[in-house]
Amino acid sequence: MSGLIKKNIDQSLKFVYSENNSLSVIFHDNGLLMGVVGEFNKNLKELEKITKSNLYSRGNSILIKSNSKTNEIVKNAIKFLANQFINNGTIENKDIVSSVDNFMINEKVKNNNITDIIKTPKKSIIPRSEKQKGYVRALRQSDIIISAGPAGTGKTFLAVAVGLTMLLEKKIERIILSRPAVEAGERLGFLPGDMKEKVDPYLRPLYDSLYDLFDFEKIQRMIEIGDIEIAPLAFMRGRTLKNSFAILDEAQNATDTQIKMFLTRIGENSKIVVNGDPTQIDLPNKNMSGLVRSKELLGHLSEIAVIDFDHSDVVRHPLVSKIVKAYSKND
């Protein structure tokens, strides 16, 4: 199948270099061109933002105008997207990000600069900002990691990715996923179903990250045998976590007492990650949140890493960063 795809790509695309630092990608198949460019050029505009290049759709071609290095990045991204469209008949926003990441990963491997790459069964992940690089290093090196920042900065996704790789490499025995169920008032006993069914809706972002990194059936099997454990924060009391990678998500909705309880569960050969967004506190009294206080109290300890993200680290739709920045000015 891969040979057929390569043949189709090679037959469908032609690359013409010009002396004025521009590169034309000529499509012999207009259907493929429309698929890559997207409706109202939306894919092209997204690729333009990610690569900070100038892209123009002209007739049966895409014109790339940037420096030679960026031209090559965009060229390979377009090949990746064309491949994606031939395979699946559609291109999603995450594919555009992956199209650039794949080229960057290959370049880093060529240059032996692979320390920041997270390799998972489905994909390899490159931190997209200096803060994310520091966060990944902290996830690998520190015993406890506390991170705070807006949605879309990769706090949850990168933590799950590092935890999953450590589990698959048998450096730990299990991943524990937890979060406070504020919306249910932590009274999970009143909700229908078993414990997994009760807490699942509150852990959906963590599940989404797992399924994006590994096969659905294998993740389900790991949950069934206990390699991945779902545990509401209220049920962590009294435990000692050994050989574990524990993630507390949405920690802005945990009280000072709850965060202290969670952090003191750490046992031999374990890591604890506490993530949250101080601007999205759902507690009745926002001053009850223990996330900010934990950073202030524990940031000086060498075994604990504290990472603060901001709008510049957002890697979702570019509009998310602008929204976060606008709201932060009024907080």
- Residues β-bridged to residue 177: 230, 247
Contact by Cβ (8 Å): 36, 80:
no
What is the rounded average pLDDT of the residues 276-298? Answer: 88
The answer, as to whether pTM is greater than 0.85, is no
Task: Say what the pLDDT of residue 148 is.
Answer: 94
The string of DSSP codes covering 153-205 is: SSHHHHHHHHHHHHHHTTSSSEEEEE---GGGTT-GGGSSS-HHHHHGGGGHH
Q: Which domains does the chain have, with CATH numbers?
A: 2-109 (3.30.1370.10), 122-329 (3.40.50.300)
The string of DSSP codes covering 73-91 is: HHHHHHHHHHHHHHHHS--
* Angstrom distance (rounded) from CA 107 to CA 1: 25
Question: How many CB atoms sit inside 10 A of residue 71's CB?
Answer: 19
Strand order across the 304-308 sheet: 228-230, 174-178, 244-248, 271-276, 144-148, 304-308
Helix axes 204-213, 155-168, angle to 10 degrees: 50
**b/e 74-87 (16+ beta carbons within 10 angstroms → b):** bbbbbbbbbbbbbe
Contact by Cβ (8 Å): 64, 24:
yes
Please give the angle made by the CA atoms of 276, 278 and 284, to the nearest 5 degrees: 105
Distances (CA, A) of 143 to 75, 130, 140, 303, 305: 41, 21, 8, 6, 8
Tell me which DSSP letter residue 234 carries.
G
Q: Evaluate if residue 329 carries a pLDDT over 90.
A: no
67-121 pLDDT, tens digit per residue, is: 888 888 899 899 889 888 887 888 988 788 777 776 665 555 454 455 678 888 8
210-253 pLDDT, tens digit per residue, is: 988 888 999 999 999 999 998 788 888 888 899 999 999 999 99
Helix axes 42-51, 30-37, angle to 10 degrees: 60
The model's confidence at residue 276, banded by pLDDT at 50, 70 and 90, is very high
Please give the angle made by the CA atoms of 133, 138 and 142, to the nearest 5 degrees: 170
Q: How high does pLDDT run on average in the chain? A: 83
Tell me which DSSP letter residue 7 carries.
H
53-65 pLDDT, tens digit per residue, is: 899 998 999 999 9
Place of tokens 């469209």: 85
Place of tokens 């374990």: 270
- Residues β-bridged to residue 273: 145, 247
Q: Evaluate if residue 8 carries a pLDDT over 90.
A: no
Nearest to 212 by CA among 118, 300, 146, 275: 118
Task: Say what the pLDDT of residue 185 is.
Answer: 45
Tell me which DSSP letter residue 150 carries.
-
Task: Say what the pLDDT of residue 112 is.
Answer: 43
Task: Say what the pLDDT of residue 6 is.
Answer: 45
* Angstrom distance (rounded) from CA 222 to CA 51: 37
Task: Say what the pLDDT of residue 224 is.
Answer: 92
Q: Which of 95-109, 139-153, 295-309 has the lowest mean pLDDT?
A: 95-109
Q: What is the CA radius of gyration of the chain?
A: 22
